[in-house]
């Protein structure tokens, strides 16, 4: 089911060679990703930006998430400072779901990164957000923040990067990648039984909640006769035949 824990870096001490720091830019990236993810029917929970990697792991493990996605940028060793470039998508060795997400991120970032051969998956047993999370996880190092070209590329292409990352997440969950639209209000209209709110646009997707007739909803998007709706704090897909759009 589409429940994502999104964990942008909390490392404000990692300064960008241009301006700002890792915490600032990874949170800006997450800010750009959220509208794409929610428009596509993915429930997103963010970490505490003022916490640490350890608190992010604890927060993730307290919930029931289908994936834990960490957003970071890299830095070269001191003797190579400013000389390295590239994007690394990390997963824990043998973690097939983490590997699947990492590969999808690579596939979607390669077409937009200036050096596509330097966009690759890697394994790690040392990264806590891969080793200690209950949910499957991947950690993406999006360029080198001590490299002027990488830091500038991130800043100037933030929305394109967010869209590519969000498309990868949608592919992982088997959902369409939808553009954010203006929301509308609506009401559930059924004859007897409650409406099924599903994890995707089809009866093959699991039921997230049964929504009674007359329940007001927020409509975020539509796809092939299905609507992405918000009921309370829950996002999902509803068959358009059972919605009255205001």
The per-type count for the chain, helices as H runs and strands as E runs, is: 6, 13
Assess contact for 189 and 183: CB atoms under 8 A. no
* Domains contained in the chain, CATH given: 3-173 (3.40.630.40), 184-245 (2.30.30.40)
Task: Tell me the pTM.
Answer: 0.97
Closest to 166 measured CA to CA, from 236, 67, 61, 60: 67
Q: Is 184 left (phi over 0), alpha (psi -120 to 50) or beta?
A: beta
Q: Is 102 left (phi over 0), alpha (psi -120 to 50) or beta?
A: alpha
User: pLDDT of the chain along its 246 residues, tens only?
Assistant: 799 999 999 999 999 999 999 999 999 999 999 999 999 999 999 999 999 999 999 999 999 999 999 999 999 999 999 999 999 999 999 999 999 999 999 999 999 999 999 999 999 999 999 999 999 999 999 999 999 999 999 999 999 999 999 999 999 999 999 999 999 999 999 988 999 999 999 999 999 999 999 999 999 999 999 999 999 999 999 999 999 998
Surface-to-core class of residue 96, CB atoms within 10 Å of its CB (0-12 exposed, 13-18 middle, 19+ buried): exposed
- Three-state DSSP state, 217: strand
Assess contact for 240 and 222: CB atoms under 8 A. yes
Instruction: Please report the DSSP string for 67-86 in residue order.
Output: EEEEEEEE---GGGTTT---
């Amino acid at each position: 089911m589409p429940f994502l824990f999104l964990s942008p870096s909390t490392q404000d001490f990692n300064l960008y060679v241009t301006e700002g720091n890792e915490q600032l830019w990874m949170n800006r990236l997450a800010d750009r990703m959220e509208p794409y993810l929610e428009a596509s029917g993915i429930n997103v929970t963010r970490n505490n930006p003022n916490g640490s990697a350890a608190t992010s792991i604890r927060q993730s493990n307290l919930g029931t998430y289908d994936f834990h996605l960490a957003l970071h940028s890299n830095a070269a060793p001191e003797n190579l400072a400013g000389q390295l470039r590239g994007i690394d998508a990390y997963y824990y060795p043998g973690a097939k779901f983490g590997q699947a997400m990492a590969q999808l991120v690579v596939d979607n970032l390669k077409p937009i990164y200036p050096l596509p051969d330097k966009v690759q998956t890697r394994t790690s047993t040392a990264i806590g957000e891969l080793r200690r999370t209950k949910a499957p996880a991947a950690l993406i190092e999006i360029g080198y923040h001590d490299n002027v070209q990488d830091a500038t590329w991130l800043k100037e292409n933030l929305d394109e990067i967010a869209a590519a990352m969000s498309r990868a997440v949608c592919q992982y969950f088997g959902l369409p990648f939808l553009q954010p639209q203006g929301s509308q209000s609506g009401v559930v209209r059924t004859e007897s039984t409650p409406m099924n709110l599903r994890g995707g646009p089809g009866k093959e997707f699991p039921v997230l909640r049964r929504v009674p007739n007359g329940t007001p909803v927020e409509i975020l998007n539509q796809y092939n006769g299905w609507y992405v709706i918000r009921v309370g704090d829950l996002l999902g897909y509803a068959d358009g035949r059972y919605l009255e759009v205001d």
